[in-house]
């Protein structure tokens, strides 16, 4: 069925729409070509209601369908990217939610703009990027966001949220805390024509040297990051996964110190909150012996302990069961609570 600004599909197969490759079915998929249609969709009840809100789906690279979703799924398909204005080499760029994240990074580099190069090759869409404040190689998008444009389902109106309103934190934001309220329709970034790229993160400078680059431009850093990522992370096109399944846990400084004394090779990092420390979830999981573990087709990557993989026909509830067993073993051995990074659809953590 085609209607102005959106399309509807009943009993929509989701296997190709999530990077875990989980076979699930949505009762209804609403493809929104024009975000201005959202108020009309809300009026028709197609965004669900407070008790069962529609789930917004981007590229499906940060969620796990633990079963068939019970609510409609909504995909924003607008992909426009444009410069809004420029002052003293600082350029505001607006991108619609349906644009691919890496496509945006490539667009900025083609237009001579730096700021997003460390975030090259992260899967997914622009609209999902603020949800968990995507980060990689020393940069989080919260640092580059000017504003997020969203449709507020509670008040049934469009809102413009400044960076401060978004409450960005490590893999977190206001959108993640109240996931069923705002539908992100566009994001505005502040990028630069001349700021030097950030190459401080471990491995980036070495990769640039290996590439023979002395004075790195943003495009060189993006290329270095792409090379590092291709070597380190399993490609969802070859084996289903959602990147890191667990967040690095934040624990009180005293607990981190005690753990570091007992386990001198445990990596401990500073956190934004001075009273907390960030631990390496990968180290904790590896120490419990999970790397390369496999229960049928649900497994842990042999290369990266943080990445759960679907070897072929794993069900979402099987991957969730494995994730819970990993969580329980880390809690029993180290007294540290692991939290999942992807959204679990259809089950509680």
Under the criterion CB under 6 A, does residue 241 sit at the interface with ligand FAD?
yes
- Residue 62 as a binder of ligand FAD (CB under 6 A): the answer is yes
Distance CA 121, CA 142 (A): 17
Q: How far is the CB of 349 from ligand FAD (least distance, A)?
A: 13
Whether residue 243 contacts residue 331, with contact meaning beta carbons closer than 8 Å, is answered with no
Using the contact rule CB under 6 A, the part of the chain among 119-127, 253-261, 286-294, 330-338 near ligand FAD is 119-127
127 is a site residue for ligand FAD (CB under 6 A):
yes
Q: Is 244 a catalytic residue?
A: yes
Catalytic residue among 75, 94, 144, 171: 171
Helices 218-232 + 101-110 axis angle, to 10:
150
59 touches ligand FAD (CB under 6 A):
yes
CB-CB contact of 275 with 250 (8 Å) = no
**Closer CB to ligand FAD, residue 129 or residue 208?**
129
Between 163 and 182, how does the x/- string for binding to ligand FAD read (CB under 6 A)? ------------x---x---
Query: Does 222 sit near ligand FAD (CB under 6 A)?
Result: no
Query: Taking Cα atoms as reference points, which of 338, 294, 328, 342 lies closest to residue 314?
Result: 294
Report angle CA 222, 188, 84 to the nearest 5 degrees.
Answer: 100
CB of 202 to ligand FAD, least distance (A): 14
Candidates 287, 321, 334; CA nearest to 306 is 287
What is the C-alpha separation between 166 and 181, in angstroms, rounded? Answer: 13
Catalytic annotation present for 173: no
Q: Is 131 in the site for ligand FAD (CB under 6 A)?
A: yes
Q: Is 236 in the site for ligand FAD (CB under 6 A)?
A: yes
At closest approach, how far in Å is the CB of 103 from ligand FAD?
12
Residue closer to ligand FAD (CB basis): 61 or 192:
61
Is residue 60 part of the contact set for ligand FAD (CB under 6 A)?
yes
Distance CA 270, CA 74 (A): 38
- What is the C-alpha to C-alpha distance for residues 171 and 129, in angstroms, rounded to an integer? 10
Residue 107: C-alpha distances to residues 116, 117, 272 (Å): 10, 11, 31
Query: What residue ranges bind ligand FAD (CB under 6 A)?
Result: 19, 55-63, 76, 97, 122-125, 127-129, 131-132, 134-136, 175, 179, 183-184, 233, 236, 241-243, 343
Question: Could you give the residue numbers annotated as active site?
Answer: 171, 244, 341
């Amino acid at each position: 069925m085609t209607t102005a600004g959106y399309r509807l599909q009943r009993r929509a197969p989701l296997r190709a729409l999530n990077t875990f490759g989980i076979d699930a079915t949505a009762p209804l998929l609403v493809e929104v070509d024009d975000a201005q249609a959202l108020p009309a969709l809300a009026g028709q009840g197609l965004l669900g209601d407070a008790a069962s809100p529609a789930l917004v789906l981007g590229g499906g690279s940060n969620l796990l369908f633990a079963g068939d979703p019970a609510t409609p799924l909504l995909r924003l398909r607008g992909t426009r990217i444009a410069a809004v204005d420029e002052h003293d080499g600082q350029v505001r760029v607006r991108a619609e939610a349906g644009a691919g994240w890496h496509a945006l990074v490539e667009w900025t580099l083609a237009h001579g703009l730096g700021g997003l190069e460390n975030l090259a090759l992260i899967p997914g869409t622009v609209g999902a990027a603020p949800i968990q404040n995507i980060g990689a190689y020393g940069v989080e998008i919260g640092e580059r966001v000017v504003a997020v444009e969203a449709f507020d389902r509670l008040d049934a109106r469009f809102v413009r949220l400044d960076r401060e309103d978004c409450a960005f934190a490590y893999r977190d934001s206001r959108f993640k805390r109240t996931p069923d309220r705002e539908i992100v329709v566009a994001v505005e970034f502040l990028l630069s024509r001349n700021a030097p790229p950030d190459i401080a993160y471990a491995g980036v400078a070495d990769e640039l040297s290996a590439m023979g680059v002395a004075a790195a431009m943003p495009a060189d850093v993006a290329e270095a990051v792409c090379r590092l990522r291709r070597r380190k992370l399993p490609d969802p096109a070859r084996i289903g996964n959602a990147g890191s399944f667990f967040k690095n846990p934040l624990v009180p400084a005293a607990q981190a110190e005690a753990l570091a004394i007992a386990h001198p090779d445990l990596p401990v990092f500073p956190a934004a909150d001075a009273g907390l420390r960030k631990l390496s979830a990968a180290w904790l999981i590896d120490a419990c012996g999970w790397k390369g573990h496999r229960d049928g087709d649900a497994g842990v990557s042999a290369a990266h302990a943080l990445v759960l993989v679907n070897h072929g026909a794993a069900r979402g509830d099987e991957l969730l069961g494995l994730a819970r067993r990993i969580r329980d073993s880390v809690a029993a051995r180290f007294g540290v609570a692991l939290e999942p990074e992807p959204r679990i659809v259809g089950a509680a953590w």
